[in-house]
Amino acid sequence: MKEDLFDAHRTGRLILFAGAGVSANLGLPSWEELIAHIAEQLGYDPKIFSTYGTHLALAAFYRTKKGGLGSLRSWMDREWHKSSTDISTSDIHRLITRGNFSKIYTTNYDRWLEYAHDHFGVKYDKISSVVDLVSTSDGRRQIVKFHGDFDSDASIVLDETSYFERLGFDTPLDIKLRNDVLGSSVLFVGYSLNDLNIRLMFYRLTEMWGRSNLASARPKSYVFTNRPNPVAEELLSHWGIEMIVSDEDDPKKALTDFLQELVG
């Protein structure tokens, strides 16, 4: 029930998980644009290159051919952080910073969540590696970069190899996640329900609780979407995750309206 979600938010027991849809409202490049750039860098026709494998496999091919992701990461950093982007105009980011979230996990590489907190005057600690875990401050919001950060090439989960390693769920950040979710509800926004990674994360959360002696006391988790999906809704309910579906067709407006209702 929404009442439980709103109560978890009000009492500071709600963790936000922010996906690509949160950044998409800023007009950042899509995966298709990224793959087209990779193709051009390797001398391939973008349309033909895109048929050669999944996005992750094509990024892995780039890493192999170039000996790393350094130049690609630099290009992404520039394209994802253009000076023409005005974070003050993003209602979604403004509402997230105003929310009563003790922790924000994100699978996005960009810094716009951090920039939004800087702009709206909300203090935070960024965590993207085990080194960051030892320098957090009590009482500050934590922004956990679950798939890495542009400040560290090694941390970025972009190609097939790093993605598979991430799915192992046995890094220090995974241990932190397991500890964090034991006492809090989790709200997922900006994710596609067809994303295998996020579905695996849903499963892992359920598995974590299943191994606990406190499974019956598990806080509810939620995923917000503007696209009804009765199949996903049924399957996720068995994993203890409730779908919240908006009637609004436009994903940006749907998420904005939802966050406005939640944050107030």
Q: Could you list the pLDDT tens digit for every one of the 264 residues in the chain?
A: 588 999 999 999 999 999 989 998 898 888 899 999 999 999 999 999 999 998 889 999 999 999 988 889 889 999 999 999 999 999 999 999 999 998 999 989 899 999 999 999 999 999 988 888 888 888 889 999 988 888 877 788 888 888 777 766 678 888 888 788 877 899 999 988 777 667 777 777 777 666 666 656 678 889 999 888 898 888 888 777 899 999 999 999 999 999 999 998
As a three-state string, the secondary structure of 197-238 is HHHHHHHHHHHHHHCCCCHHHCCCEEEEECCCCHHHHHHHHC
Strand-pair partners of 15: 186
Residue that is written with structure tokens 């960051």 in the block: 132
Domains within the chain, CATH numbers bracketed: 2-27+86-263 (3.40.50.1220), 31-80 (no CATH)
CA 239/CA 221 separation, integer angstroms: 9
Q: HSE, CB side, 13 Å, CA atoms: give it for residue 67.
A: 0
Cα–Cα dist 201/18, whole Å: 13
Against a cut of 0.75, is the pTM above it? yes
Angle between helices 251-263 and 2-10 (to 10 degrees): 60
> How distant is the alpha carbon of residue 103 from its chain centre?
12
